[in-house]
């Protein structure tokens, strides 16, 4: 029986490494490709002795090479947090454009099925709520967040062009806020910032008045939805995320409760173009994939807090971008 092979770009990142775990558990051979700009070998160190796993350090904007048969290409390479794509704006644009082009060309040459990791940021600061896949978005193309938002919108357009013009089997997942083990302490997203601030004795920093909302999904649920989408027959974009919406102020208070910290919550000005609301409509995922998130947020938070307690050796000052 043929063992399927999957190539995961961005395989040493937060989501990419969890995806590698899942694909290996499903009995596949996995090739992770990453230039380690924002990913880390630490995320895949436990896999390096696995005979079914290979790691290749490479920049997908240059080329993607693998000599053997490939059945699936999961394109996850990209800076994915505000601090990262504000620090690496050109690289973010390049991996969304050139990197996606290279990954799609690679999938086409191998006759492989391709899945693009897109994002809820394609909706921008949405004028409709919750967000359905048919919504075209409200994005500022020249704002500081535009380098990420427009890179992913271009990547979706490129993916659909390869699907329609070249007949490549493609899937597009729009990923909503996700959390769990292996998030970087300093990546600027709300949960690692709140948790690391609480653990290290700092005040928790909330931007704006804290009324802006996010819907956070535990990583194992997200990965399950992505794998189901890859194995489905659905080629249009699909939201995967947890529709359980929470304000940033509520989230900060929850972290205070779960960590037992007595630190204060302090408020800072809201960043430019920060979305006011974010909540996925997951009707398509429910109906087409039979998928629903199953991990309670508080349980996922406790696991994440335990991970950060184990990995934080010294207090870290973190700037939050929600």
Q: Which residues sit opposite 314 in a β-bridge? A: none
Burial class from Cβ neighbours inside 10 Å (0-12, 13-18, 19+) for residue 286 reads exposed
Total number of domains constituting the chain: 2
What whole-number distance in Å separates Cα of residue 166 and Cα of residue 75?
18
**Do 74 and 60 meet the contact criterion of CB atoms below 8 Å apart?**
no
**Do 208 and 270 meet the contact criterion of CB atoms below 8 Å apart?**
yes
Q: Which residues sit opposite 33 in a β-bridge? A: 9, 56
Instruction: Read off the pLDDT band of 187 (50, 70, 90).
Output: confident
**Do 212 and 270 meet the contact criterion of CB atoms below 8 Å apart?**
yes
Classify residue 157: in a domain, yes or no. yes
Q: Mean of the per-residue pLDDT values for the chain?
A: 94
Classify residue 316: in a domain, yes or no. no
Query: In this structure, are 124 and 251 located in the same domain?
Result: no
* pLDDT tens readout for residues 126-174: 999 999 999 999 999 999 999 999 999 999 999 999 999 999 999 999 9
Query: In this structure, are 26 and 86 located in the same domain?
Result: yes
Query: In this structure, are 49 and 167 located in the same domain?
Result: yes
Task: Give the Cβ contact number of residue 127 at 10 Å.
Answer: 12
pLDDT at 310 over 70: yes
Which pTM does this prediction carry? 0.94
Query: In this structure, are 59 and 149 located in the same domain?
Result: yes
Q: Which residues are catalytic?
A: 148
Query: In this structure, are 90 and 126 located in the same domain?
Result: yes
* pLDDT tens readout for residues 247-271: 999 999 999 999 999 999 999 998 8
* β-strand pairing of 213-215 with 245-247: antiparallel
Token pair for 94: 């390049």
Query: In this structure, are 140 and 121 located in the same domain?
Result: yes
Query: In this structure, are 193 and 103 located in the same domain?
Result: no
Query: In this structure, are 204 and 174 located in the same domain?
Result: no
Measured CA distances, 152 to 167, 168, 186, 315 (Å): 21, 19, 23, 34
Residue 202 structural domain: 181-215+244-278+295-311
**Do 162 and 170 meet the contact criterion of CB atoms below 8 Å apart?**
yes
What CATH number is given to the structural domain containing 118? 3.40.50.720
Query: In this structure, are 226 and 273 located in the same domain?
Result: no
């Amino acid at each position: 029986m043929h063992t399927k092979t999957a190539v995961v770009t961005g395989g040493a990142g937060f989501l990419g490494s969890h995806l590698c775990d899942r694909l290996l558990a499903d009995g596949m051979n996995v090739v992770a490709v990453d230039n380690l700009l924002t990913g880390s070998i630490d995320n895949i160190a436990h896999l390096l002795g696995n005979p079914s796993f290979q790691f290749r350090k490479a920049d997908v904007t240059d080329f993607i090479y693998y000599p053997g048969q490939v059945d699936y290409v999961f394109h996850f390479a990209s800076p994915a947090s505000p601090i990262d794509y504000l620090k690496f704006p050109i690289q973010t644009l390049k991996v969304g454009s050139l990197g996606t082009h290279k990954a799609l060309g690679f999938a086409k040459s191998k006759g492989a099925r391709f899945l693009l990791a897109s994002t809820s940021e394609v909706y921008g600061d949405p004028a409709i709520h919750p967000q359905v896949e048919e919504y075209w978005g409200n994005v500022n193309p020249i704002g500081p967040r535009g380098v990420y938002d427009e890179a992913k919108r271009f990547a979706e357009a490129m993916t659909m062009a390869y699907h329609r013009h070249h007949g490549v089997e493609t899937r597009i997942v729009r990923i909503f806020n996700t959390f769990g083990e292996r998030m970087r302490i300093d990546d600027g997203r709300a949960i690692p910032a709140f948790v690391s601030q609480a653990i290290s004795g700092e005040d928790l920093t909330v931007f704006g008045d804290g009324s802006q909302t996010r819907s956070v999904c535990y990583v194992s649920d997200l990965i399950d939805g992505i794998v189901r989408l890859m194995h489905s027959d659905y080629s249009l974009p699909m939201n995967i995320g947890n529709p359980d919406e929470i304000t940033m102020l509520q989230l900060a208070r929850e972290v205070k409760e779960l960590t037992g910290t007595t630190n204060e919550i302090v408020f800072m000005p809201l960043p430019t173009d920060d979305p006011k609301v974010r909540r996925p409509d997951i009707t398509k995922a429910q109906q087409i994939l039979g998928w629903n998130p199953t991990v309670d947020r508080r349980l996922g938070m406790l696991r994440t807090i335990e991970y950060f307690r184990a990995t934080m050796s010294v207090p870290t000052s973190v700037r939050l971008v929600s």
